[in-house]
A = this chain, B = another copy of it.
Amino acid sequence: MAVERRTSRDIRSESRLDVMHALLSAEEATRNDLARATGLSPATVATVVGDLLSEGIVTESRLSAGRVGRPTTSLRINADRGRVVGIDVAETYVRAIVFDAALREVAGVETPRDEHESSPEYVVEGIGRTFEAALDRAGVGAEDVLGVGVALPGIVQRASGVVVVVPHWSWHSVELDSLRDRIGVPLVLDNPLKAIATAELWFGTGRESDSMVTVNLGTGVGAGIVLEGRILRGATNAAGEWGHSLLAIDGRRCRCGRQGCVEAYVGAPGIQQTLREVAPEHPLCDLEMQQEFIQALAAASAADTPDPAVEETLAITARYLGSALADLVAVVNPERVTLTGWTTWALGDRLLPLTRARLDEEAPGESAAGLRLEISTVRSNSVATGVAMIALERFLGDVGLVTTRVPIAL
């Protein structure tokens, strides 16, 4: 049969990830602490810790006398096991962050990109230069790097080979073998949604729920769907493209080519379009930089004198967002929806109550009644952090410790 089910190897793999997650949260822990934190049996924890020790992922960092005299061994992630690098390729910049194996930031570099230049050669060269500059700043060589993750602002798919689709770059089906040659260490590619969801899974609330959706609100809009502690990737790694599902058939033109996508209404340019429809002469309509526009909208809505056009724009946006989230709840019915991204940081507190009300009205039956809708506690660099985690998971897979399928490894 074609279906890939989980095996007992997968269960051991998940136990190892649970222990690593608990160790990352606690920084330092005994085996007993880990058993308590993970819910695994002491025997399983002992086995898992043995596996992680033998690959040098974990160290026994100190011995201390317990209260009744028995020495206790305390464990940590071995930060010096190597480095992982997360690279966030955005419209206007490339940011590379070097992490140690305990996922602490060692160094970061951001280089600007010309947003009107999008040839694969230019993009590959920008990623390569930023990667090298980050290694320089961290004072490490490529031989210290366990893996590199690159998040590209589009859909990274495994169809016939790996192809990257970035409509606003006119990348319809670009292969990036040249990137592998340029970077020269084990490489994973993914899209920002999967990266953000992975960051949420490791550093947010993702591992506490059976099902959670991380909704990213920025220029683009999308959802990272986590079911049973794993990211839903789908047949071609394109699951979660909720931003390009319909809010209104034959509606606003989306930059993906489709008409009426959710993104065309609740992406930053979509919010500006709503303001133009509400008040075509409003001065904020002319702001060209999207983040600047969203900041200005937030400032106007926090001002002492209410701006009716701004208030109406926010109310309409919350209505669009609530309806679009209700669609996601109708199809996936998750326990939690966590909002993230720079539109969320700027406007989330304002949008949340109205969005919630609309969602409750529009979701089928009682499916939203117990739903937790909240703003993520994982903040800056979640794309670079998340894609570095995917690179680390690939490394853990390569040494046989985890079975997470990293679909787009080059």
Q: How far is the CA of A304 from the CA of B297 in the complex (A)?
A: 61
* A209 interfacial by beta-carbon distance below 8 Å: yes
With A3-B208, A6-B11, A228-B6 as known contacts, state yes or no: A246 contacts B367, CB within 8 Å.
no
B364 near A241 (CB under 8 angstroms)? yes
Segment among A119-127, A175-183, A229-237, A382-390 that sits at the interface with chain B: A229-237
CB contact between A39 and one of B1, B239, B369 (< 8 Å): that residue? B1
Q: Which B residues touch A225, using CB under 8 A?
A: 331
Instruction: Give 20 new A-B contacts, CB below 8 A, not counting A246-B247, A246-B324.
Output: A1-B39, A2-B208, A3-B208, A5-B229, A6-B10, A159-B366, A233-B333, A234-B332, A234-B367, A236-B366, A236-B367, A236-B369, A237-B333, A238-B330, A238-B366, A239-B331, A241-B331, A241-B333, A248-B251, A327-B327
Q: How far is the CA of A119 from the CA of B310 in the complex (A)?
A: 47
Q: How far is the CA of A39 from the CA of B4 in the complex (A)?
A: 11
Q: Which B residues touch A246, using CB under 8 A?
A: 246-248, 323-324, 326-327
B365 near A2 (CB under 8 angstroms)? no
The main secondary structure of chain A at its interface with chain B is: loop
With A11-B6, A244-B364 as known contacts, state yes or no: A236 contacts B370, CB within 8 Å.
yes
Q: Which B residues touch A209, using CB under 8 A?
A: 2-3
Q: Which chain A residues (137-189) contact chain B, with CB distance < 8 Å?
A: 154-155, 157, 159, 163, 165, 173
Q: Which B residues touch A234, using CB under 8 A?
A: 211, 332-334, 367
A sample of 11 inter-chain contacts (CB < 8 A) reads A5-B14, A155-B366, A159-B370, A234-B332, A235-B335, A236-B370, A246-B323, A248-B250, A258-B362, A327-B327, A331-B332
* A318 interfacial by beta-carbon distance below 8 Å: no
Q: Nearest chain B CB to A213's CB is how many angstroms away?
A: 10
Q: How far is the CA of A12 from the CA of B32 in the complex (A)?
A: 29
Q: Which B residues touch A159, using CB under 8 A?
A: 366, 369-370
Q: How far is the CA of A155 from the CA of B329 in the complex (A)?
A: 13
Which residues of A line the B interface, CB within 8 A? 1-8, 10-11, 14, 18, 38-39, 154-155, 157, 159, 163, 165, 173, 207-211, 223, 225, 227-229, 232-242, 244-251, 256, 258, 260, 320, 323-324, 326-335, 362, 364-367, 369-371
Q: How far is the CA of A1 from the CA of B229 in the complex (A)?
A: 11
B323 near A370 (CB under 8 angstroms)? no
Q: Nearest chain B CB to A404's CB is how many angstroms away?
A: 13
Q: How far is the CA of A284 from the CA of B330 in the complex (A)?
A: 32
B249 near A247 (CB under 8 angstroms)? yes
A330 near B244 (CB under 8 angstroms)? yes
With A159-B369, A235-B333 as known contacts, state yes or no: A11 contacts B5, CB within 8 Å.
yes
A365 near B157 (CB under 8 angstroms)? yes
Q: How far is the CA of A175 from the CA of B260 in the complex (A)?
A: 39
Q: How far is the CA of A241 from the CA of B165 in the complex (A)?
A: 29
Q: Nearest chain B CB to A170's CB is how many angstroms away?
A: 13
B248 near A210 (CB under 8 angstroms)? no
Q: Which B residues touch A11, using CB under 8 A?
A: 5-8, 11
Q: How far is the CA of A140 from the CA of B404 in the complex (A)?
A: 49
